[in-house]
Amino acid sequence: MTTDYACQAAAEQAGDGITHVRALLVPARPSAAPEDDLPVMYRHYLGVPGRAPDRPEPDMDSPVVRESMGAAMLLVFLDGLRAELQGALPDWYAGLQERIPQALGAPGRGRGPHPVRPLTESWAYTTALQQGAHEVLTALRGCASVAGSAGSNALAVRVALVEDVLCGALKRLTVPWDTAALCAGALAAATASLYGISVTPPQRADGQPVHREG
């Protein structure tokens, strides 16, 4: 089972990597309507009831919530890995135009078949990431029993494939190529870290790794 620390570190790394994409896809807004309950994806992972209606809307630009958005995007990436292993990658790709803005906290989203929104409680996204990572390993073992290939190399190849597909989906959402590549690379590296796999961090044009701003 992936450790709590690994999940929190991966969420922070992913939160760093999605900053510029979120600025493009979800412009800053003065306020947002509170959610009545948790989205379907988190209820599926966690089996918990919705939040109280009087709970204040969190600051969507705070570091804690930024990490939870990173975790939400990691769940999207993990779903892509599972879809690739199950031969359903085209369906996963088709849904990204809705799911990516959902995970980044866009208003008026969440009516699709797999809605996902960030959670501010670290225990909630940690549990969701642990379960999602475990489901990918289960699917990988199932493929290995048929194809005879398993282990970190097989998983790393699939992480790279999903990274490329995700980058294409971001470009489809009008994200510039270099920004899309940096974001997809950061999410791939963060996802790989859940399994103890090292992936070269994405680099900017000046050769510097992506760091949190501010």
| Full domain range(s) for residue 16 | 4-28+35-193
Q: Is 206 within the bounds of a domain?
A: no
Q: Is 198 within the bounds of a domain?
A: no
pTM over 0.85: no
73 neighbors 180 (Cβ within 8 angstroms): no
Vertex 195: Cα angle to 168 and 88 (nearest 5)? 40
Q: Is 209 within the bounds of a domain?
A: no
Structural domains in the chain (count):
1
96 neighbors 114 (Cβ within 8 angstroms): no
Q: Which residue has the higher pLDDT, 211 or 166?
A: 166
**Torsion over CA of 53, 56, 62 and 66, rounded to 10 degrees?**
0
Q: Is 203 within the bounds of a domain?
A: no
Whether the per-residue pLDDT at 154 is higher than 80: the answer is: yes
Residue 195's pLDDT is what?
93
Q: Is 199 within the bounds of a domain?
A: no
Q: Is 75 within the bounds of a domain?
A: yes
Residue 213's pLDDT is what?
42
| Tens-digit pLDDT profile for residues 10-54 | 999 999 999 999 999 987 655 444 444 455 555 555 655 554 444
Q: Is 167 within the bounds of a domain?
A: yes
Q: Which residue has the higher pLDDT, 51 or 99?
A: 99
Residue 48's pLDDT is what?
55
Q: Is 127 within the bounds of a domain?
A: yes
Residue 150's pLDDT is what?
53
CA nearest neighbour of 179 among 188, 169, 187, 167: 167
User: In angstroms, what CA-CA distances link 110 with 18, 104, 149, 172, 186?
Assistant: 19, 11, 37, 19, 24
Lowest mean pLDDT among 5-14, 118-127, 139-148, 167-176: 139-148
Mean pLDDT of 4-14: 93
Tokens of 89: 């990658």
